[in-house]
Amino acid sequence: MLEHLGIDRFAILAISGGGAYAAQLAAAVPERVISLHAAAAVSSTLPTRTPPNCAPTLEQRNVQNAFWYANPKVWWGVPGSPVLVIPGWQATAYLDAVRSFYLGGRLGDPSALSHEQMLPCGADAVVDAARITSPTYLYWGGADTSVPVSVMARWQAALPNIVKATIYPGEGHTVQYRHWDQILVDLAGYGDHTVVCRNGQTRLVANDRTDALVARGATLGLCAWADAS
């Protein structure tokens, strides 16, 4: 697809389950990857992963996953997340969940989800992590129970070029949306700077100045976050 679109070099952003695919892509064409960004992303295709449970069959997984098709809003419900201050965020997320799970009709077939869950059990699932040489940025919520901080440690143990690994205390599995501003800055090549709101103005400051500014009242991210909270 990249060749069809005429894209030579590119950056990769992986969110949650996308981590498995991002590692495969980064290892497949390392010379074309400008940077890799993993936000609360699974490590299921890295050699440092926790071995997956490959015992359930497709049919057994379908039975388990039928719950999500009957309750799609549970999949994308984020109670307590800071992103709920964004007008319409939760409603849009609910619509996305309903559209995804009901893609095949009102009684959606969970086989697609079950198939994805079985991919880490494939013979070629684990990548050669030494091939992932691009600068890598990690973003994690310290209170993430879906993909906990221990998974970030697996990325750090597997990849040779971790540039920055950030843990946001008290935040959960929506850390990528709350800190989308910082991710975009890192993607643009300014990974040595942090987005902060100081005195009502959004600024880019050197990473080594961030803690001191936050201690004096600055907040992370665009001022819109501070205004909304």
- Residues 178-225 have pLDDT tens digits of 999 999 999 999 999 999 999 999 999 999 999 999 999 999 999 999
What are the residue boundaries of the structural domains of the chain, listed by start? 2-49+126-191, 59-110, 192-229
11-40 per-position pLDDT tens digit = 999 999 999 999 999 999 999 999 999 999
pTM of the full predicted structure? 0.93
Mean pLDDT of the chain: 94
Residues 34 and 9: their CA atoms lie apart, in Å, by: 6
Give the span between the Cα atoms of 85 and 83, in whole angstroms.
5
CATH code linked to domain 2-49+126-191:
3.40.50.1820
